[in-house]
Amino acid sequence: MIYDIILIKIGVYMKKIFILCAALLVGLSCVEAKDYVKMQIKEMQKAQKYGTTQKVLQTQPQLNAVTNLPVLKDPKIMKFGDYKKISKADYDIKLKKDEAEYKKTQTAMLKKSSKAYKTQANPEDYYKIYRIAEKIIRANNLDYINWRIAIIKDTQEPNAYTANTNFIAITTAMYDTFNNNEDALAMVIGHEMGHALLGHQKRLDEIRVKLARLDRLRGAVSGVYTSRRAFDMAVSTNNYAKAGYAIQVRRLLAESKKMEFAADVEGARLAAHAGYDLDKGINVLTYFNTFSVESDRHSSHPNAQKRIENFNQNRKYFPEEWKEIGEYNIYNSNVLPAQLSSDRKSMVISVPDTRLNPNKFYSPETMDELYARLGYMYYKNGEFAKSAEYFGELFKIDQTNAPAYLYASYANEYLYKNTKNSKYLTFAKEYAKKAQSLDSGNKYIKEQVDNL
C-alpha cells in the first residue's frame, strides 16, 4: 500500500517535471536572439579608455608651454660643464674617423656565430646595443670601467635591470619592441646606468639587510621556554619584529619608486648628452602605460602615467647645452672596443688604460650644479618665483657664482615688474651688486647694475 502511494507520487512529480521542461524549451525558442552588435558597442565604449594605440603614441606636451613671455635677458653666460663648443665640421670629421674603428668592431663581432657562442641574441643585435651604449658612455665620461651588457631571452616580459655597478640586462621582449627606435633603447640603457650611477643597489641592500634581521626576529616565539618571562620577552620581540618588518617593507617599496623616478630622469640626462631624441625615447614609458592600470601601492615601480608626468616635468628644465657637452666629450675620446664576453652570453665594452683617470669621470650633478641649472631653466621658462627660489638655495651653499647672481637679479626684476612688490626690486639690486663684486669686468653685469 505504502509502496503504491510512493509510486503514484513519483509519477505525479515526473509529470510535473516533464511539463516544466517542455514549457522551458518552448520559452527558449521564443527568446529573442542576443544582440551582439549592442555588446560590441559597449565594448568599444570601454576601448576608448583602455585602448592601447593612443597610449603608445601618446602626444607629449610642448616643452615651452608658457605663452606671452617677454623677450628675456639672456647673455648665455651660464655654464653647465667644463667644455668648449665643437664646430659641426670638426665634429663630422671626428665621427667619420670613429666610423672606421666601429667597422673593425662590427666585423670582429659578426664573425662570432650565435650558435658557437651560445649567445641569447644575434651578434647583429649586440652590435646595435653596443653602438648605443658606447655613445652614451663616451658622451658622459662613463669610460672609467668596463661595462657589461646582456640581451636575455624572454619573449614575454619587456624588461631591463642592472646589477652591481656595471652590468645591464635587456630582455629580448624589450629589445624587439624597440629595435627600430634607438632613442628608446638609449632611454632604457640610460635608465639602467642611472640606477648604477646613483647607487640605488646599495640603498636597497641596506633596507633588505634590515628586513632579513627583522624576519629572523619574527620567529622568536618558536621553541621551548624555561620561564614565563622568557616567553613574554619572545612574544614582545616577535611583535616588535612584525611591526618593524611591515614598516621596512613599506619603506622598501616607497624608496624603490623614488629610485625609478630618479633613474628615468638620470637616464634621460645621459641620453640627452649623447644627442638622442627624448621625444622618441619617451615611447618606452608610453608603451608601459598600456599595461595594467592597477594601483602601484604594492609595487616597487610607480605606474607609467606617473613616470610620464615625472619625465615631462623634469625634462622641461634640461638645457640645450647638454648635447654640446656630449659632443665635446665624444670629440675628445676614442672609440671603445667591444667583444662578446667570456660567459658567451653577454658583451663587454672595454676601457683602455689611458682612460682610467680618477680625476676624469662622470658624476651626478652636485647640489650647487642642480640648483644653478634649475634656477636658470625656471627663468628661461618664465617661472620667475621658482627661479628665485632655487637661486636662493644655491646661494646658501655657493656665493661665488657670478652668472647665477646675475640671473637671480633678472628673475627678481621680472617679479617686480609683474607684482610691483618693492622687495623684489631690492633683491634684484642686491644680486646685481653681488655679481659685480665677483666679476667687475663683465659687461652684462655692469648693464644690469646701471639699469636698476
How many residues would you count in the chain?
452
For 41-87, how does the pLDDT look when each residue is reduced to its tens digit (9 = 90+)?
565 565 555 455 555 555 555 444 455 677 899 999 998 888 899 99
For residues 439 and 409, is the Cβ–Cβ distance under 8 A?
A: no
250's CB contacts (< 8 A; 6+ apart) are none
CA distance 406 to 163: 43
Predicted confidence (pLDDT) per residue in 131-147, tens digit: 999 999 999 999 888 99
Grid cell listed for 52: 592601447
Report the share of the chain in percent with pLDDT over 70.
Answer: 71
Alpha-carbon torsion 430, 432, 435, 440, what sign?
negative
**pLDDT-above-90 percentage for the chain:** 47
pTM of the model: 0.80
Q: DSSP per residue over 135-191, as a string?
A: HHHHHTT-TTS-EEEEEE--SS---EEEETTTEEEEEHHHHHHTTT-HHHHHHHHHH
Q: d(Cα 222, Cα 15) in Å, to the nearest integer?
A: 65
pLDDT at 272 over 60: yes
Cβ contact 104:336 at 8 Å = no
Superfamily of domain 367-451: Tetratricopeptide repeat domain (1.25.40.10)
Spatial separation of the C-alpha atoms in residues 344 and 126, rounded to whole Å: 12
pLDDT value at residue 198: 85
What's the whole-number mean pLDDT along residues 102-116? Answer: 77
pLDDT of residue 2: 45
- 92: exposed, middle or buried (C-beta count within 10 Å: 0-12, 13-18, 19+)? exposed
Question: In degrees rounded to 5, what are phi and psi of residue 152?
Answer: -100, 135
Domain coordinates of the chain in residue numbers? 1-29, 88-210+255-355, 367-451
Q: CB of 336 within 8 A of CB of 139? A: no
Under DSSP, is residue 346 helix (H, G, I), strand (E, B) or coil?
strand
